Structure 1
């Protein structure tokens, strides 16, 4: 009987802990939370520098130097010429530290920056921080006005670069002249 009470108490404690860590997610139409993140190129990027000037795409991945994340980043590199036709700043992002993302970007010869969110504040603000403490593989499309246009939660790593281009076309993100 004592085991039943102990198991019940453990279950109740787990449920309470889980409910306290529920994440609030931004939705389409919401303002993007403010961010200030360092990229693998050593530059600092902020939400304010793009507002009113340029759309943004941020493709989150869980962890540098892993199989799916490598495929995703390579796919975006391979679609670079197509992505650069749009008036958009595009990035991948993770909760890895800047040094790790710099090394990862260099190992893949990326032509775009990986943003680092080591304190996980931006991932939390977006709602894409998973219970495992890494970001979910979600991609955010943000308009020039700073509003969330679309959130892709079904990323296909091998075709993600082409999928981003197709989604930007659907969303009507302007192309460069």
Structure 2
């Protein structure tokens, strides 16, 4: 798994936000603001629902002037669109069909994705990394918030 200081692999993925679809490039977003790349396993599962809801409910404005959040998982565009609408997510959900989870080191041997979060700065360097310990609890986002506030 990537760690703080590592170069984040750039990616171009299709995704959905606000009912619209589009292309998302990590380096383009990071050039404008820090990016939280939030990997999750599957749409509509309770663990992933709690995780993405916690990211949705974060008070990012108190930490930084601007930040982008990308939810990344395998699956299909329509399912991502339905899941994003169901949770009223203010950030896009991207379809990982290119093995980006493996490039970040969060793909399990069975091909599924671990819940994980990476904070990527304007140089596309990882400033913070977290991965699910398997307990299924909502992650403690305070270390991520601390990392955001230091950028």
Tell me which interval the TM-score lies in, with the shorter structure as reference length.
0.7 to 0.9
Any residues of structure 2 matched to 1:45-64 within 5 Å, and which?
45-64=24-43
Name which one, 1 or 2, has greater alpha-carbon Rg: 1
- Indicate yes or no: 2:122 matched with 1:144: yes
CA shift digits 1:130-168 (9 cap, x unpaired)? 1222211111111111101111124787655x716x523
Structure 2 contact 2–129 (Cα < 8 Å) conserved? no
Query: Which structure's residues are more often strand, by fraction?
Result: 2
Q: For structure 2, list consecutive stretches of 5 or more residues without a partner in the other structure.
A: none
Paired residues in the alignment total 145
Cα separation, partners in 2 of 1:158 and 1:92, compared to 1, 3 Å: farther
Aligned-partner Cα distance in 1 for 2:56–2:137: 11
Q: Which has the higher helix share?
A: 1
**TM-score, normalization by structure 1:** 0.71
5 Å-filtered alignment, 1:14-163, equals 25-41=1-17, 42-79=21-58, 82-85=59-62, 86=64, 87-119=66-98, 121-154=99-132, 159-160=138-139, 163=141
Point out where structure 1 has 5 or more consecutive residues left out of the alignment.
1-24
